[in-house]
Structure 1
């Protein structure tokens, strides 16, 4: 199993095989990931500049709309993989609107934090991709099980936190800027980063198995889900460090 809920061992095998010219490739997935990153960046720049212009109410609408829209498009993409060529770009735009708003709020409180988070996110991506390409790290079955369990635990913890938040109850320590909170964020960043390795492995496997071309968009979507999660966790970690 994979820690990333968008990619599973059956994602590519269930789609069947096609002729070589119609099959997905790693390079095709990389190209589509670049397109999604561009769409996310452009949308993020829009809500970012709204906040900095002082149009907070309008910007908040886009932020919330991006969060809700991104979740809806993610679910549609997961259940209708063949639609990924349309839904993945729309997901990227929605997530960009959300990320741009959130990032501007962090930046106003801690100047310089966003560029640090962006550099660390892409630095982590580059380092793990290089390590994976050179064979220094591989997604063995034990590795996948461990990351899946850890990712699932984090998801449950966040869900519980959201539910408790509705009743104005906060889980102590882990979301604070103390040593426990910082160690928790470091652990989550590591888990999020290691999900990238599993994503690389599944995309490579899909290309080797001759999966349909539309799964290039789906593979790119899966990578974007992990990258956005990693960026948000790094941003959260940096904010804790800045509050100390």
Structure 2
């Protein structure tokens, strides 16, 4: 995340300028990034993710045995991470790597969603609905100008996202030594409050994503950046969905 000046590892303040510079700044109008093209590419990535998620979901629901999907979950986690890193470093490969990333993340999300849904029936569809609801809300908020992406706003979201990432990393490391943050991970007021905060930060990252994509269109970035912009949105949506799923599970466990 520290590699770019944004909280989303896929999008950075110089990403689109650098893409234009690599082409010498002379890009034919038909080969430039457009907003409609980015929206269409985002839709394709979502379809890819839903397809593989449905496959993993169905496989688990047939037996309710986690071992049946554990291999696919690991493939989704590590394969998705590797593909994401490749996409970040090789943006021109995005037309190929972005769909692969979406397919791999779908394997992971489908399995995780099924595991949660068995314990809390209906939680997955609630999380999906809330995720898309947040996406549309933030798009409207950004388009209407209610939230303006200033330098202070950008720095604040970047700092908050970095803090969350560091906390999760620290939690994972300390977990190997038996240290658990029970209050934060529990279903009490602190745990739910923390999840609400993280969901809010993830949602605000969408605003940064929209802003960077708009910059790409204005800069006249090359056509392949439509896939890269869609990939950036996908990264944030995956994070947002998982955080919403976690929040809902905490709230449901209180009942």
- Aligned partner (choices 233, 236, 243) of residue 233 of structure 1: 243
- CA offsets, 1:30-73, max 9 Å, x none? 00000000000000001101110115323111011111100010
Taking the aligned partners of 1:58 and 1:26, their CA distance within structure 2 comes to: 41
Aligned 8 A contact 1:30 1:220 in 2: yes
Q: What is the alpha-carbon root mean square deviation over aligned residues?
A: 0.9
Other structure's SS at 2:178 match: coil
- Give the 3-state SS of the residue equivalent to 1:142 in structure 2: helix
Q: TM-score, normalised by structure 2?
A: 0.94
- Given candidates 5, 10, 16, the residue that maps to 2:14 is 10
Most deviating of 51-60 and 180-189: 51-60
Distance 1:138 1:28 in 2: 24
C-alpha deviation, 1:19, in angstroms: 2.1
For normalisation by structure 1, the TM-score amounts to: 0.98
Structure 1 residue runs of 5 or longer lacking an equivalent are none
Residue 35 in 1 paired to residue 39 in 2? no
Q: Which residue of 1 aligns with 2:109?
A: 99
| Alpha-carbon displacement from aligned partner over 1:194-242 (angstroms, at most 9, x marks no partner) | 0000000000110011011111100000000000100000000000001
Residue correspondences, number: 244
Do structure 1's residue 45 and structure 2's residue 54 form an aligned pair? yes
Match of 1:206 among 198, 216, 236: 216
Counterpart in the other structure of 1:56? 66
| Cα distance in 2, alignment partners of residues 138 and 153 from structure 1 | 22
Matched, 1:24 2:33: yes
Determine if the alignment matches structure 1 residue 128 to structure 2 residue 138: yes
Residue 174 of structure 1: how far off its partner (Å): 0.8
1:142 matched to 2:146: no
